[in-house]
Structure 1
Amino acid sequence: MYSTIATCLTPPCPKSHPKKLWRFRTATEFSQADVSAVRFGLQHTSLKDERWAFAREGHPADAISMMIGEWPVGRISHRVDAIMTAIVLAALMGSAASTLVAYHTIAQLAFRRPRLREIAASWLVVVEEQERRRFWHPTASDAIPRSSDDVRSPFPGRSYA
């Protein structure tokens, strides 16, 4: 009997619940196997929304519009869990907008669940990385800046110095 009570009190194992991985893993901890598990988990989830068919396939616009409709998020419901999983899938497939939505939503939840703060921050780091790759295309001669004067801004008229 004690083992039954203990398992009820411990958080669910992320491996057995792919739709809850976003609650336990930072953005950089997701593997390709996790992406496959998330995709498979979403295939067996249904929500009453015409956008859901596309959102669960990883289409960022549909997942984002569904998540924004849920803001502000104060608690995790089945619907929020499913939509956040679709957002994470789109973010892991390369959508910077989905990554920002994942950060913002998890940050909202972190007010009541402090353990989510680190997870929210990890998504913000991914956004910065995605934007850096998107706007910064170094050539062989300027791949490693030697000083702050050598760093060119990806935005005309602005500098990092």
Structure 2
Amino acid sequence: MNIKLVVVGKLKEKYFAAAIAEYCKRLSRFCKFSLVEVRDEKAPESLSLAEMEQVMVKEGERILDKVSDREYVFALAINGQQLTSEEFAQQIKDLTTYGHSDLTFIIGGSLGLAPAVLQRADAKLSFGKFTLPHQLMRVVLCEQIYRAFMINSNSPYHK
């Protein structure tokens, strides 16, 4: 099984990078895990609506360049489906049971995801209505993917 995170921007904080490295190590016993960073579009602080759309489109093109047709894609979106950890684990188990061995999770840039990326997604996933830094969201997502594997292997980690 292959799990890939496609994210916009570089991870700058060492403590987030250390946490992600730890989850990558833990996940290696369950899957081939990779993190793909695409360049964020440089933009001034205040943008018009048209400029915001242009930034999202450019970042979206970079994201979609890293996604193949065979991948099952989860887009992280505030209006996506909210799942419990157990439901998420079951969804991963069901996908792998029915032939989806390449799962990709997409975290957009600060402005969100382009419509083309949301259209390509097979599922939209939300971690609630809170606004979280995208770097922190990477850590949270890695932990939940790891937790899903632990739930599916009946490990006491989840308790």
TM-score (norm 2): 0.24
Which structure would you say has the larger Rg? 1
- Greater fraction helix: 1
Tell me: higher relative CO, structure 1 or 2? Use CA pairs within 8 A at least 6 residues apart. 2
Q: TM-score scaled by structure 1?
A: 0.24
Higher strand share: 2
